[in-house]
Structure 1
Amino acid sequence: MAGSLVTRGRSLLQRRDPTTALVDRVRALREAADACEGRVSPEAVDEAYRVGNQVDQRMALSGGATVVALAGATGSGKSSTFNALTGAELATVGVRRPTTSVSMAATWGPDAGEELLDWLQVRRRHVVETGSLTDAVALDGLVLLDLPDHDSTAAEHRTEVDRLVALVDVLVWVVDPQKYADAALHDRYLRPLAGHAAVMLVVLNQVDTLTSDARAACLRDLRRLLDAEGLERVEVLGVSAATGEGLDVLLRRLAHVVAGKRAAAERLAADVGRATDRLASASGTEPAPELSRRTVSTLDAQLGEAAGVPVVTRAVDQAWRLRGGLATGWPVLAWVARFKPDPLRRLRLGGGAKEIASPTGTSRTSLPARSGVQQARVDSALRTLADEASTGLTRGWSDAVRATTRSSSAGLSDALDTAVATTDLDLDRHRGWWGAVRVLQWVLFAGVLVGLGWLGAAFLLAYLQLPPLPKVTWWGFPAPTVLVVGGVVAGLLVAGLARIGVVVGAHRRARLARQRLLAAVSRVSAQQVVAPVRTELERYDAARSAILRARG
């Protein structure tokens, strides 16, 4: 016995309060609505906010009260059932035309607060006293409403029904043998409220007018209709407001609902579920697509082409060769080569920070404008990225991803130009050996000048018939000739050998420059295109996660 009590106590402690779960679901629903705003239909987002506000308001008002509404068509006996349950002639009964123009409330016990009825905007109220049919049943906390006829010809009656159907805790649909299959009831209310089966009850009134076989057939057919509409959990009762048959069973059902004090939470949970499903249908719950590295790499490659990376790479190669030739070539030829324009300086590149325009400049380089073919390839790569990022998304999210891609591409040209202009091409290092070769070339050139001077002096002395200079020979040749010819040949040979090193270095510098330029272009692509798209996908994923949590 003691062990059984302990087990029951533990189960009660571990049982989660339904209102706690409801609060968590409402919070998740609001998060989903915030994320979906501007991406899905405004109606679905507004409905999510409305349900969230409704939950807050309902849970703050008379938490111990349970609002049960009797709803039905004209002539179904709804008002008669209301009078029979309350034990008083409160509602006017009509058979052929609607007589309930405004809702009426009957309350049991002190828990049925006035604030709750004020929130429901129900003005006609009646407190049920002792001595009625309900004395034998504990109904403290019950608020019973008699709604206008849902098929009334008066539009304001139908509006009142729709408003309260969305607010009450439990719905009791009163039907009669003639119109229990009415399409207006099933299509407008029962089928759309299939998710609220736990807080609905269908009562077949006027069973006293049927034979036992006809009664069984009506109840069986009504059960079949409800099952076909996904309302298998909805209980069906047969009653007679005129004779009181079955009303005791109905009262016990209501008493059970009131005693459980879970109807409000269950109704609100069903509302949250319905709003969540609507938002999920509009937003989607498929996992967010991933951007493949291949797609991003293709975009980077096309942006690099459009940004002039190949042009700059060739210019780096040519500039390194030109500068290397000027530094290591034979001085005479190097002097002639100085008249050639520097490929990088012509593009306003590679000249250091002083030659980079200010950040407010609209153009930082003199690179040629991108061609139509290059622009078309960039546009194609952007479309491919947008298509991949929007695969499987609903229309609103897909449009948001595409709009993000288009807007982020607006300033790409200036950003790419800036990235190219500010990239360190590394042309001021790795050329220390040029200085040694330059010194050697000038030494050799000085030897040539000395030899030419020596030969010139010898010619002048001979012309003036003056004593000649002493004859000096090296390796069997006159020293001046060795200086001139040897200096020229050696200078050209050194220049040729140095040229090989310059060309190899040019290839390396061009390859490194291309890598750095593509890295700079990739950073621009990541910051201006890929990051905004991924942010949009993260927002979708946040909405999806919140929707799944709101479903419970």
Structure 2
Amino acid sequence: MKLLRREKTVPLDDRLAALARAADLADGRLDAGAVAAARSVVGRAGTRRSLSVDHTAVALAGATGSGKSSLFNLLSGTSLAAVGVTRPTTSTAQAALWEGTGAGPLLDWLQIPRRHEVLGSADRPGSAAPLGSADRPSSPDHPGSPGRPGSPTWPGSPGPVETRAPDGEAAGLILLDLPDHDSIEPSHRLEVDRLVELVDLLVWVLDPQKYADAAVHDRYLRPLARHRDVMVVVLNQVDRLSPAAAERCQADLRRLLDEDGLAGVPVVAVSARTGQGVPELRSLLTSRVADRRSWAARLAADVGTAAETLLDASATTVPGTGVARSTAVDASGPAGDRPLPAPVDGLVRPLGDALAEAAGVPAVVRAVARAHVHRSIAATGWPPTRWVRRLRPDPLRRLRLGLSADSSAGEITGRTSLPVATVVQRSQMDTAIREAAEAASAELPAPWAAAVRRAARSRGDELEDGLDRAVATTSLGESGRPRWWRLAGAAQWLAFAVTLAGAFWLLGLLVVDYLRLPQPYLPTVGEAPWPTVLLAGGVLLGLVIALLSRVTALLGARRRARRAARALRTGVDRVTREFVLDPVAAELSRYRGFTEAVTVARDEGRP
């Protein structure tokens, strides 16, 4: 024995919530009309679900002369709808209500005209007096509307609010006779369009002469392909055809409906004049009303149609090409399963290179190296010439950088003194941002790709200040002074002291010789006297220490420059993410959320 597993479907509540979320995410990205249509469906569904679910609003719609008014009178057993040869005959929607309490708010929402007839009452069908609408004020055009003695009424609304059908078979049915959809009166067509969007079940009444008319197929049937579960097609006036011709006409109509995407929609051949097929139609409507699910099926179809409209808007053609992107959203498969663009992290490095150049990072790195050498010479140079070095400006301080090395300098405020980005650098930066946005949106449909490009430039006015601030606040590793600077500095002072000792000793000997005093004992090192050795040795030692310090400082400058370059690049990458890639990532996340929401809203199953 095989167990038939029911296909899992998404509940209507979840689909409506998903459609509302998709509309919110698409706002400002997709066509405003598609977004408004989706929100209208959500609002309309919320209103319909709050009204009576025990009533089913069924509309008879059709072209001029299709006989829908005659069929309406036949189905309801009334003479409410006017029938005649003058076109258009039906100027406003007419309604007949079978028994069912709580229909007032639904009738108000449908905005049906002011009259309907009581069905199945003590009066004979077809002879009941025209009464005021179940929930509307009376009309002076209908003097019978003030209500019958004992009939329940709404305040300010004189007509009865309950009717009775034999055996209660069609209890809850609200049957509407709509104006002609092809009427020469624009107001009639607008009324049809309005009610076609609201009713729970649509019955399209066609006739043998105009059943293939493009006006009904192109404007209504084909766009309502998703509503096939809440649609019935009636081929009226078959009494005018021979049985064979009627069969061929019905088969051709079936073919046209299949081409419209309405396979499975019931096609009933009837004759309002002879009553042929009317019992079958009445039975079909009764079963739909008794099911009490047409309203939910209608809302589910509306949600699916609105989701498809959003998808169509998302798959807009690329401007200037006339063809849709090959990577546009595929409406035939789950949107959430399709691959998204490469990770945003992969865009940090190429974009950061251009932004680092524009931020002056190479100049800062060179200044760090020069500043290290400058400070090293000032700390380890020969003492008599150090003051000359101190007269030269510090390369980092000239750029208003590295002031944190001096605890008394405080924090940097305002911009640095780095040169403003040149036209070439700005052009390179703009190009890099554009290329990053293109890479991130390469797999997106045109409207979403445009949104990603806008997001990439959304904080462009703040970008230069952000880069400058990142450079200014980056620790360049200048706060610590190497220990060997102190040792080399002390050695220089020792060499300088030795040099001074030798110089003063020789000066003393010169004074003694000038005064013709006896020459003191003069020790020697080999043949060289000690004063000369001290003087020459001190100078030579100072030069060697200075040379070794310069070489060591150059090596240290390279290390510090590399560390500074890494720290600066980290800061630039942080700005790159914050001002460019984070907005891009947010837009990509928005697109992902949209596709997931639309996928839920498009669920093909029944609610």
**Equivalent position of 2:577 in the other structure:** 526
**CA separation of 1:238 and 1:113: change in aligned 2, threshold 3 A:** same
Partners of 1:137 and 1:236 in 2: CA distance: 26
Partners of 1:422 and 1:98 in 2: CA distance: 79
Which segment drifts farther, 262-271 or 487-496?
A: 487-496
**Equivalent position of 2:447 in the other structure:** 396
Partners of 2:409 and 2:590 in 1: CA distance: 42
Partner-residue secondary structure (3-state), 2:92:
coil
Q: Deviation per CA, 1:108-153, whole angstroms, max 9, x where unpaired?
A: 1224712211110113222311676974781111111111111111
Question: Is the contact made by 2:383 and 2:496 (CA closer than 8 Å) also made in structure 1?
Answer: yes
Give the counterpart of 2:523 among 462, 468, 472.
472
CA displacement at 1:369 relative to structure 2? 1.8
Which segment drifts farther, 229-238 or 467-476?
A: 467-476
Letter in 2 for 1:426: G
Question: Is the contact made by 2:38 and 2:307 (CA closer than 8 Å) also made in structure 1?
Answer: yes
**CA separation of 1:87 and 1:140: change in aligned 2, threshold 3 A:** same
Partners of 2:7 and 2:353 in 1: CA distance: 59
CA displacement at 1:355 relative to structure 2? 5.1
Q: Deviation per CA, 1:466-493, whole angstroms, max 9, x where unpaired?
A: 1222222235531111111111112211
**Equivalent position of 2:222 in the other structure:** 191
**Equivalent position of 1:4 in the other structure:** none
**Equivalent position of 1:216 in the other structure:** 247
Partner-residue secondary structure (3-state), 1:178:
coil
Letter in 1 for 2:287: H
Question: Is the contact made by 2:208 and 2:235 (CA closer than 8 Å) also made in structure 1?
Answer: yes
List aligned pairs for 1:444-455, cutoff 5 A.
444-455=495-506
CA displacement at 1:198 relative to structure 2? 0.7
Partner-residue secondary structure (3-state), 2:176:
strand
List aligned pairs for 1:214-363, cutoff 5 A.
214-283=245-314, 285=329, 288-352=340-404, 359=413, 361=414
Question: Is the contact made by 2:344 and 2:581 (CA closer than 8 Å) also made in structure 1?
Answer: no
Structure with greater proportional helix content:
1
Partner-residue secondary structure (3-state), 1:186:
helix
**Equivalent position of 1:117 in the other structure:** 107
**CA separation of 1:78 and 1:176: change in aligned 2, threshold 3 A:** same
**Equivalent position of 1:88 in the other structure:** 78
Question: Is the contact made by 1:349 and 1:365 (CA closer than 8 Å) also made in structure 2?
Answer: yes
Which segment drifts farther, 310-319 or 329-338?
A: 329-338
Letter in 2 for 1:127: V
Partners of 1:385 and 1:355 in 2: CA distance: 40
CA displacement at 1:160 relative to structure 2? 1.0
CA displacement at 1:521 relative to structure 2? 1.0
The answer to whether structure 1 residue 149 and structure 2 residue 139 are counterparts is no
**Equivalent position of 2:130 in the other structure:** none
Question: Is the contact made by 2:307 and 2:601 (CA closer than 8 Å) also made in structure 1?
Answer: yes
The answer to whether structure 1 residue 101 and structure 2 residue 91 are counterparts is yes
Partners of 2:481 and 2:166 in 1: CA distance: 102
Letter in 2 for 1:157: H
Partners of 1:537 and 1:197 in 2: CA distance: 35
CA displacement at 1:508 relative to structure 2? 0.4
Q: Deviation per CA, 1:179-207, whole angstroms, max 9, x where unpaired?
A: 11111111111111111011111111111
List aligned pairs for 1:14-33, cutoff 5 A.
21-33=11-23
Partner-residue secondary structure (3-state), 1:419:
helix
The answer to whether structure 1 residue 47 and structure 2 residue 99 are counterparts is no
Partner-residue secondary structure (3-state), 1:202:
strand
Partners of 1:143 and 1:111 in 2: CA distance: 12
**Equivalent position of 2:145 in the other structure:** none
RMSD: 2.4
**Equivalent position of 2:142 in the other structure:** none
CA displacement at 1:259 relative to structure 2? 1.4
Partner-residue secondary structure (3-state), 1:148:
coil
Q: Deviation per CA, 1:356-385, whole angstroms, max 9, x where unpaired?
A: 7765x3xx2211222222111111101101
The answer to whether structure 1 residue 368 and structure 2 residue 419 are counterparts is yes
Partners of 1:75 and 1:370 in 2: CA distance: 76
User: Which blocks of at least 5 consecutive residues in structure 1 are unaligned?
Assistant: 1-6
**Equivalent position of 1:516 in the other structure:** 567
**Equivalent position of 1:407 in the other structure:** 458
Give the counterpart of 1:126 among 81, 96, 117.
117
Partners of 1:441 and 1:425 in 2: CA distance: 28
Partner-residue secondary structure (3-state), 1:410:
helix
Letter in 1 for 2:593: A
Give the counterpart of 1:158 among 176, 180, 189.
189
Partners of 2:440 and 2:101 in 1: CA distance: 55
CA displacement at 1:400 relative to structure 2? 2.5
Taking structure 2 as the reference length, the TM-score comes to 0.84
- The list of structure 1 runs, each at least 4 consecutive aligned residues, that deviate by more than 6 angstroms after superposition, is none
Question: Is the contact made by 1:75 and 1:94 (CA closer than 8 Å) also made in structure 2?
Answer: no
Partners of 1:222 and 1:351 in 2: CA distance: 86
**CA separation of 1:144 and 1:295: change in aligned 2, threshold 3 A:** same
The answer to whether structure 1 residue 504 and structure 2 residue 555 are counterparts is yes
Question: Is the contact made by 1:201 and 1:234 (CA closer than 8 Å) also made in structure 2?
Answer: yes
**CA separation of 1:347 and 1:355: change in aligned 2, threshold 3 A:** farther
Give the counterpart of 1:434 among 485, 495, 501.
485
Partners of 1:100 and 1:380 in 2: CA distance: 64
Partners of 2:26 and 2:7 in 1: CA distance: 33
**Equivalent position of 1:486 in the other structure:** 537
Question: Is the contact made by 1:112 and 1:143 (CA closer than 8 Å) also made in structure 2?
Answer: no
User: Which blocks of at least 5 consecutive residues in structure 2 are unaligned?
Assistant: 127-164, 316-328, 330-334
Letter in 1 for 2:16: V
Taking structure 1 as the reference length, the TM-score comes to 0.92
Partners of 1:81 and 1:354 in 2: CA distance: 97
Partners of 1:68 and 1:428 in 2: CA distance: 83
Give the counterpart of 2:507 among 456, 462, 465.
456
Partners of 1:42 and 1:534 in 2: CA distance: 23
Q: Deviation per CA, 1:74-96, whole angstroms, max 9, x where unpaired?
A: 11111111111112222111245
Partner-residue secondary structure (3-state), 2:117:
strand
How many residues matched?
539
Give the percent of matched residue pairs that are identical in Structure 1 and Structure 2. 49
Question: Is the contact made by 1:347 and 1:365 (CA closer than 8 Å) also made in structure 2?
Answer: yes
Question: Is the contact made by 1:289 and 1:390 (CA closer than 8 Å) also made in structure 2?
Answer: yes
